[in-house]
A and B are shown apart, each in its own frame.
Chain A
Amino acid sequence: MLKRREVSIAIFVLSLLVILFAEYTGVGRDVSSQIMIAVTMIVNFTLVLGFYNLFGHHIRIINRKNMPDMYYSVIFIATFLIYTGLQYFWPSGYDWTVSMVFTPLMMSVTMLEFTFLTMLWRGARVRNVFALIVIVSAAIIMIQQSILGNQIRPLWNLGNWILNVPNKGVTRGITILAGVGIVLTLVRALLGYERSYLGEVR
């Protein structure tokens, strides 16, 4: 008798094998395509699941009457309901909220990029030769990517060399390692060892 966990793993592995097989052989493309469309639709339902979990979490906080977390949870739930309700029942009010509340708030978050200045002041100190190499390279790229960059030809060429040789080399190494990690995780998932996608923590 199959348990619920084995059924989930079987659905995952079977779908994965169909997609991989279709990708490499070209056979069964229609089935593969249907699976991916189904996943795209399931994503919408995962939003409902997220809604359920999020509300459950905040309702628990409200029930415990934790101060001041309780207030944040009440504000969250009220905002969520108002925002969702506006979209369905009063679209012009929703547009106003997006334009006059959400957007200015999100753009204000951009001001957090001032922390870059803090980072330069506190963190970017030339303490040794390696730090010197990194900071000089960063400074060259900063100037190269400004409007002054392409007007100073040696700086432009040096910046391109930094981007295309050492930077690209390191990025390539990191990405290859990440890719190998993904393949290994996939193999573990195919063999049933990796079950974090089922919510299991090992």
Chain B
Amino acid sequence: MKAEYEDSIIYLLGIMVAVLPLVHTLGVAIEISPDTTEYYNYVDGLKDGAIVYVELYTGIRGWFEQGQSDVAVLKHIINKIHAGDVRGVVIGTTSPEGPVVLPFSLKVMAGANVWDELEYGTQFVWLGWIPGFETAQASMAQDFRGTVPTDKFGTPIDDLSLLDGITKMGDFDMVIVSLYGGQDAYQRQWTRNPSAGRNYIFMFDCGISHRTAAMSFYPEQIQAFMTPVRQTSEYEKLLGYKGLATSLTEAQLALQFFGIGLIIVATGIYWYRRLSGGEAR
């Protein structure tokens, strides 16, 4: 086979393998793992009018995967707001793409008709993009009101009752960072920085590779993690709905086996050529 055709054939096979579970389900049940239960229990344990801060560092490219974690967790928090356990949720982003991502998640959640029922300013605040990335995070840690004087719409945060009494990050009861990529600035500024006066539960939604890196240094400082697709599908099951993460699980599994198959076949060809004295590349 000519090398220039190999990629096209592999991509075509990859698409077919990913679509296969949609035509015929693989029948693998979603079982809840301990790490997802741990995450769920932290959110479910919020009470006494807790205030949650959610940082969206999800890029639009990662929305299909990472965005589903945002949707699932926000749905859970909103259920808790309706139950009276959580007072409200404040959403902000230090990523310029954050303001593009949130409307997507809101559209998905509006389908469940939960978001529109919240009262802006008392149960929900959207801060929009906060420029400055790590400097802004460091600044928010010790002087929240000075760093973010207004919300996304230009309303002074002094006029938003949900933020009454919030002077630094440490005044929130829970901080959730949804991260697409490998930024560790959040851990530095919001888990280790003493200026934050941290008294909150710190949760992370991120890929498995970042989870491993983060756990190297912050094992006791990050309470729970949630990875896209697998853990998010488990979370969706705990919440009792089937979202996009649930839909993606079998496609992901099929593609992973396809990838392992590619490695085995490529290695077999490599060793066959090498041992038979041919060109091994």
Contacts and interface: CB of A to CB of B under 8 A. Distances in A.
Contacts of A125: 263, 266-267, 270
Given A37-B146, A102-B100, A171-B213, 18 more contacts: A106-B60, A107-B64, A114-B14, A117-B259, A118-B10, A122-B266, A124-B266, A125-B266, A135-B263, A142-B259, A143-B260, A145-B230, A146-B249, A147-B233, A147-B250, A156-B33, A163-B215, A168-B216
Contacts of B191: none
Interface of A: 23, 29, 32-34, 36-37, 39-40, 43-44, 47, 98, 102-103, 106-107, 109-110, 114, 116-118, 120-122, 124-127, 135, 139, 141-143, 145-151, 156, 163-164, 167-168, 171-172, 175
A142 B256 contact: yes
Nearest to A123: B266
Interface stretch (B75-83, B120-128, B134-142): B134-142
A47 B130 CA distance: 14
Nearest to B34: A150
Given A117-B10, A124-B266, A147 B135 contact: no
Q: Which 4 pairs from chain A and chain B are nearest by CB?
A: A40-B132, A36-B139, A150-B33, A106-B60
A39 B212 contact: no
A33 B139 contact: yes
Contacts of A32: 142
B5 interface: no
B212 A29 contact: no
Contacts of B217: 172, 175
B105 interface: no
A167 B100 contact: no
A121 B230 CA distance: 25
Nearest to B9: A121
Contacts of B250: 147
B227 interface: yes
A186 B132 CA distance: 20
A187 B54 CA distance: 35
Nearest to A127: B270
Interface string B14-55: 100000000000001111010000000000000000000000
A164 B159 CA distance: 46
Given A33-B143, A142-B260, A146-B249, A168 B10 contact: no
Contacts of B215: 163-164, 168
Interface residues on B, range: 35 or more
A122 B10 CA distance: 11
13 contacts: A36-B135, A36-B143, A40-B132, A102-B60, A106-B61, A110-B62, A121-B266, A139-B260, A142-B256, A145-B208, A145-B230, A147-B249, A150-B31
B262 A121 contact: yes
A47 to B, nearest CB: 8
Contacts of A142: 256, 259-260
Nearest to A99: B103
Contacts of B146: 33-34, 37
A70 to B, nearest CB: 28
B253 interface: yes
B131 interface: yes
B230 A146 contact: yes
Contact of B138 (A36, A44, A103, A164): A36
A141 B60 CA distance: 26
A172 B143 contact: no
Nearest to B267: A126
A37 B256 contact: no
A190 to B, nearest CB: 18
Contacts of B29: 147, 151
A67 B227 CA distance: 46
Contacts of B132: 39-40, 43
A186 to B, nearest CB: 14
A143 B267 contact: no
Contacts of A29: 142, 195
Nearest to A46: B131
Contacts of A172: 216-217
B135 A43 contact: yes
A127 B7 CA distance: 21
Contact of B262 (A43, A120, A126, A148): A120
Contacts of A175: 213, 216-217
Contacts of B28: 147-148, 151
Nearest to A98: B100
Contacts of B256: 142-143, 146
